[in-house]
Amino acid sequence: MTADIIDGKAFAAGLRARIATEVGGLATRGLVPGLAVVLVGEDPASKVYVGSKERLAREAGMISTVHRLPADTAQADLLALIATLNADPSIHGILVQLPLPAGLDPQAVVMAIDPAKDVDGLHPINVGNLTIGAPALVPCTPSGCMMLLRDRLGDLSGARAVVVGRSGLMGKPMAQLLLAANCTVTVAHSRTRDLSEVCRTADILVAAVGRPRMIGGDWIRPGATVIDVGINRLPPEPGQEKGRLVGDVDFDAARAVAAAITPVPGGVGPMTIACLLDNTVEAACRAAGLERQRA
Ligand SMILES: Nc1nc(=O)c2c([nH]1)NC[C@@H]1CN(c3ccc(C(=O)N[C@@H](CCC(=O)O)C(=O)O)cc3)C=[N+]21
């Protein structure tokens, strides 16, 4: 079998186009969704992601601001910026890029964000609402994975899903979303015994561990749908400036076994940003008391 490649890049472009149409409609009613991204320090990968978020938000017709702070920013100064953004009526979504430099407390920072503006879905109010099945702002990467899965498989009821990774930004909310979609969900991680065997039970395998090509072809059930969330940069080849990006799955090996797989790049990554824009529109509509007018 040669797996189909799930084109997240194309899906994300379509989603952004629909969001742009919706934003155009909202603008005629006087509502322009606004996104503020906060970047502390100089992490090169984070700089690239933040730049893309800013550009794509503007291309969708939204207000987009980036606040770049030095790596030695004091916790109190970061909290003061968040308080200002919480109080700014033109800003509907706030995202503080993670990881933060050492010395800053990410938990305290996330708790300081108004839950209604928490477009990362990390505030305990949103985490709790997702868990109990109440309306919530949902973390962008797992939302994007669910859209790709639903587009490919339709109803997910009864599927055996294995999520490898248990982070608050990805693994845990992914498990909640799969459970809400009636999957039988296993959350595996670095301490899971017989990890490869657990993975082989999966109809849906979601890899979010952050270890380049850890998941081999023989970890995958024939016919499975594989969602690779990993974004790992390999060391540069001799004579090259940058190493290539690879996922957590050995793509070539997996392709021979799975029914469908997301590539890296061009899979989940672009969906993350499109879902961030979607969450910002959602937050703006809720703040204004308007129904969504999805295109
Ligand atoms: N508070 C917070 N929220 C996040 O959502 C968040 C974060 N912090 N910190 C870092 C991770 C990573 N992340 C990505 C977003 C887009 C791509 C993306 O667009 N990737 C492209 C290209 C990548 C490239 O070429 O470098 C692709 O996969 O095709 C990747 C990764 C959001 N994150």
Report the pLDDT value the prediction gives residue 27, as an integer from 0 to 100: 97
Q: What is the pLDDT of residues 248-257, one digit of tens each?
A: 999 999 999 9
Residue 48 in contact with ligand 1 by CB distance below 6 A? yes
How buried is residue 88: exposed, middle or buried, by Cβ count under 10 Å (0-12/13-18/19+)? middle
Tell me how far apart the alpha carbons of residues 11 and 237 are, in angstroms, rounded to a whole number: 31
- 16 within some domain: no
- Ligand 1 neighbourhood includes 265 CB (under 6 angstroms): yes
Q: Residue 122 pLDDT more than 90?
A: yes
Residues 96, 43, single domain; the answer is yes
Express each pLDDT in 64-98 by its tens digit.
999 999 999 999 999 999 999 999 999 999 999 99
Q: Is the CB of 98 under 6 A from ligand 1?
A: yes
Q: Are residues 145 and 256 in the same domain?
A: yes
Distance CA 163, CA 173 (A): 10
Identify whether the C-beta of residue 97 lies closer than 8 Å to the C-beta of residue 38.
yes
- Does the reported pTM lie above 0.90? yes
Strand pairing partners for 260? Answer: 4, 225
Percent of the chain with pLDDT over 70: 100
Report the CATH number at residue 147. Answer: 3.40.50.720
pLDDT at site 188: 98
Measure 273 CA to ligand 1 centroid, in angstroms. Answer: 7
Residue 23 belongs to a domain: no
Q: Which residues are catalytic?
A: 53, 97, 120
Q: Is residue 15 part of a domain?
A: no
Average pLDDT on 25-42 reads 97
Average pLDDT over residues 221-232: 98
78 occurs within a structural domain: yes
* 257 shares its domain with 163: yes
Do residues 193 and 78 both lie within one domain? no
The average confidence (pLDDT) of the chain is 97
Q: Is 279 inside a domain boundary? A: no
Query: Do both 78 and 194 map to the same domain?
Result: no
Query: What are the residues whose beta carbons fall under 8 Å from the beta carbon of 49, sequence distance 6 or more?
Result: 97, 273
Asked if residue 217 belongs to a domain, the reply is: yes
pLDDT, position 92: 98
C-beta separation of 288 from 31 below 8 A: yes
pLDDT above 90 covers what percent of the chain? 99
| Chosen domain end from 114, 131, 164 | 114
Cα–ligand 1 centroid distance for 1 (angstroms): 30
pLDDT above 90: residue 169: yes
Reported as a pLDDT band with limits 50, 70 and 90, residue 1 is: confident
Same domain, yes or no: 160 and 102: no
Same domain, 248 and 159: yes
Residue 168 placed within a domain: yes
- Judgement on whether residues 158 and 257 belong to the same structural domain of the protein: yes
266 lines ligand 1 (CB under 6 A): yes
Q: Give strand pairing partners of 40.
A: 69
Looking at 99, 114, 129, the residue that finishes a domain is 114
156 with 266, same domain? yes
What are the CA-CA distances from residue 257 to residues 51, 148, 158, 186, 261 (Å)?
Answer: 36, 19, 21, 21, 10
Closest CA to 164 of 121, 197, 127: 197
**Residues at the annotated binding site for NADP(+)?**
165-167, 231
For residue 119, being part of any structural domain is answered with no
Consecutive H or E run containing 23: helix 8-28
Helix (H, G, I), strand (E, B) or coil at 93: strand
Tally of structural domains, the chain: 2
**pLDDT tens-digit map of 175-198:** 999 999 999 999 999 999 999 999
Residues 68 and 169 in one domain: no
Q: Are the beta carbons of 259 and 226 closer than 8 angstroms?
A: no
Q: Which atom of ligand 1 is nearest to the CA of 95?
A: 1
pLDDT of residue 113: 98
The C-alpha torsion from 125 through 210 and 267 to 92, rounded to 10°, is 30
Residue 222 has pLDDT above 90, yes or no: yes
Q: How many residues can be counted in the chain? A: 295
3-state secondary structure 247-294: CCECHHHHHCCCCEECCCCCCHHHHHHHHHHHHHHHHHHHHHCCCCCC
Say what the pLDDT of residue 60 is: 98
**CA nearest ligand 1 atom 14, residue:** 269
Report the nearest-CA residue for atom 31 of ligand 1.
269
- What mean pLDDT is predicted for residues 43-56? 95
Q: How far is CA 290 from CA 30, 109, 119, 267, in A?
A: 11, 29, 17, 32
Predicted pLDDT at 212: 97
Task: Write the single-letter amino acid at 65.
Answer: T
Q: Is the CB of 49 under 6 A from ligand 1?
A: yes
Residues tagged in the binding site annotation: 165-167, 231
Average pLDDT of 202-228? 98
CA distance 169 to 171: 7
272 CA distance to ligand 1 middle (Å): 7
Query: Which structural domain, as residue segments, surrounds residue 237?
Result: 140-270
Same domain, yes or no: 164 and 77: no
205 Cα distance to chain centroid: 16
Q: Are residues 83 and 164 in the same domain?
A: no
Find the 43 Cα to ligand 1 centroid distance in Å: 12
Instruction: State the pLDDT at residue 291.
Output: 95
